[in-house]
Amino acid sequence: MANITAGQLIVGAFNLARSQYPELNKRWINASYRMGGIIRDAALTFVLQQAGELDLLCRSIEQETQRSIKSQQSTSGSEGTDLQINYLELLSSQWVSVTYAAHFALHSRKLLPTVADNFFDQIRILRVQLEKHEIADPKDRKQRRQVPIEMTRMPEKDGDRPFLYDPRSATRSHITPRGLSQRGSYAWLLIKIDKNKQENIWVERQDLANQMLSIWSPPLPQQRI
């Protein structure tokens, strides 16, 4: 074990994940060329292949996490599982960041197809909450709320009181509620706000990845025998 380097362990983890999901790996490569090819002479294809590598590694750890949680439901858990979940959150957040940046590159140039609008809006809101530690503005900035928003902590505890989130304040902040789905994937609570309403939506990382693949690399229909 002393002769094994951190770099070798990382490469081994990515290789293992790729071997576990060969068909998904092919779809990610296909998606990278279809999406990345929209902007010529750019590194977008390579960036999207990195997003695919991250997705496969996350899926591998998510599957392990799901098994670990099920086997420890009657116990208090273990330090190893807790650390695994911690690093899974790190990788999941990185996947969100890379995926958002790739779609923003197309969106900002008005090259993003309308079929990807809903996905981009979800990943945009999530990225703002995770990286900017605030609630995202509406797509139409003219609808940005100018008054404080009454919110409650999640999950609520006895004695909790509503508090105000002021979008105009320089010290505004928001901690995104998060947790693990039944299949071991990270999930976050999105807060979509416009001038007239607030909508709370739970989104799961693996489901977001599946949405993206369905847009850029839909599975081939199975042939009938």
pTM beyond cutoff 0.85: yes
What average pLDDT does the segment 180-185 reach?
Answer: 95
Domain span holding position 135: 6-216
Instruction: Look at 144 and 160; give whichever has higher pLDDT.
Output: 160
pLDDT for residue 55: 98
Output phi, psi for 129, to 5 deg.
Answer: -65, -40
pLDDT for residue 224: 52
pLDDT at 78 exceeding the cut of 60: no
Question: Does residue 51 fall inside a structural domain?
Answer: yes
Question: Does residue 209 fall inside a structural domain?
Answer: yes
What average pLDDT does the segment 4-22 reach?
Answer: 97
pLDDT for residue 74: 44
Question: Does residue 72 fall inside a structural domain?
Answer: yes
Question: Does residue 151 fall inside a structural domain?
Answer: yes
Question: Does residue 223 fall inside a structural domain?
Answer: no
Identify the DSSP state of 174.
Answer: -
User: Are 47 and 88 a contacting pair, CB within 8 Å?
Assistant: no
Cα gap 117→107, rounded to integer Å: 9
Question: Does residue 197 fall inside a structural domain?
Answer: yes
Question: Does residue 191 fall inside a structural domain?
Answer: yes
pLDDT for residue 80: 60
Mean pLDDT for all residues in the chain: 88
pLDDT at 95 exceeding the cut of 80: yes
What average pLDDT does the segment 26-45 reach?
Answer: 95
pLDDT at 87 exceeding the cut of 50: yes
pLDDT for residue 75: 47
- Calculate what percentage of the chain has a pLDDT beyond 70: 87
pLDDT for residue 166: 82
Question: Does residue 225 fall inside a structural domain?
Answer: no
Instruction: Look at 216 and 199; give whichever has higher pLDDT.
Output: 216
Number of domains making up the chain: 1
Question: Exposed, middle or buried by CB within 10 Å (0-12, 13-18, 19+), for 126?
Answer: buried
Cα gap 165→178, rounded to integer Å: 19
